């Protein structure tokens, strides 16, 4: 009789454990689906969204000197964020700055051609 009661208790505990495992399995599946949807939504943008360049990296990216980066920050031409004592720059801000100055970088031939055109129309 004692053995039968023990078997009944063990079966009850086993059923509770099985239902708990099934519940956890469903929760894990649900969380996995949510993670996959978030990955698809991000579409690889998460790295780019968070990418910040240090002042040295920004100078190398723009191919200008570090002092020029600092001067542009002081003149508020180039947006930046500070974390502690360090300045960081977003890639899209660096690209926007580069696009804004790209028209001013003319070759010597282009400058001479523009000068000749202006002289001819006087």
Q: Is residue 55 within 8 Å of 87, Cβ to Cβ?
A: yes
Q: Is residue 69 within 8 Å of 59, Cβ to Cβ?
A: yes
Q: Could you tell me how many residues make up the chain?
A: 122
> Which residue(s) pair with 92 in the sheet?
none
> What pLDDT is stored for residue 44 in this prediction?
58
Residue 57: count of CB within 10 angstroms of its CB: 16
- In this structure, whether the domain defined by 51-102 belongs to CATH 1.10.1660.10 is answered with yes
Q: Is residue 88 within 8 Å of 54, Cβ to Cβ?
A: yes
> What pLDDT is stored for residue 109 in this prediction?
79
> What pLDDT is stored for residue 99 in this prediction?
83
Domain layout of the chain by residue ranges? 2-45, 51-102
The conformation of residue 78, written as its DSSP 8-state character, comes to S
User: What are the tens digits of pLDDT across the range 78-98?
Assistant: 999 999 999 999 999 999 998
Strand ranges, E, within 1-122: 52-54, 81-83, 86-90
3-state secondary structure 38-55: HHHHHCCHHHHHCCEEEH
Q: Which residue has the higher pLDDT, 107 or 33?
A: 33
User: What are the tens digits of pLDDT across the range 10-58?
Assistant: 888 888 998 888 988 889 899 898 888 888 877 655 545 568 999 999 9
Residue 122 has pLDDT above 70, yes or no: no
Query: Which positions ≥6 away from 49 have C-beta within 8 Å?
Result: none
> What pLDDT is stored for residue 2 in this prediction?
84
pLDDT above 90: percentage of residues in the chain: 35
Q: Is residue 57 within 8 Å of 21, Cβ to Cβ?
A: no
């Amino acid at each position: 009789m004692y053995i039968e009661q023990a078997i009944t208790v063990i079966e009850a505990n086993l059923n509770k454990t099985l239902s708990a495992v099934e519940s956890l399995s469903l929760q894990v599946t649900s969380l996995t689906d949510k993670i996959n949807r978030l990955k698809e939504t991000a579409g690889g943008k998460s790295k780019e969204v968070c990418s910040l360049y240090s002042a040295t990296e920004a100078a190398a990216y723009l191919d200008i000197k570090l002092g020029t980066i600092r001067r542009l920050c002081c003149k508020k031409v180039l947006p930046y964020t500070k974390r502690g004592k360090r300045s960081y720059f977003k890639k899209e801000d660096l690209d926007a700055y580069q696009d804004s100055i790209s028209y001013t970088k003319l070759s010597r031939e282009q400058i001479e051609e523009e000068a000749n055109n202006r002289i001819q129309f006087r």
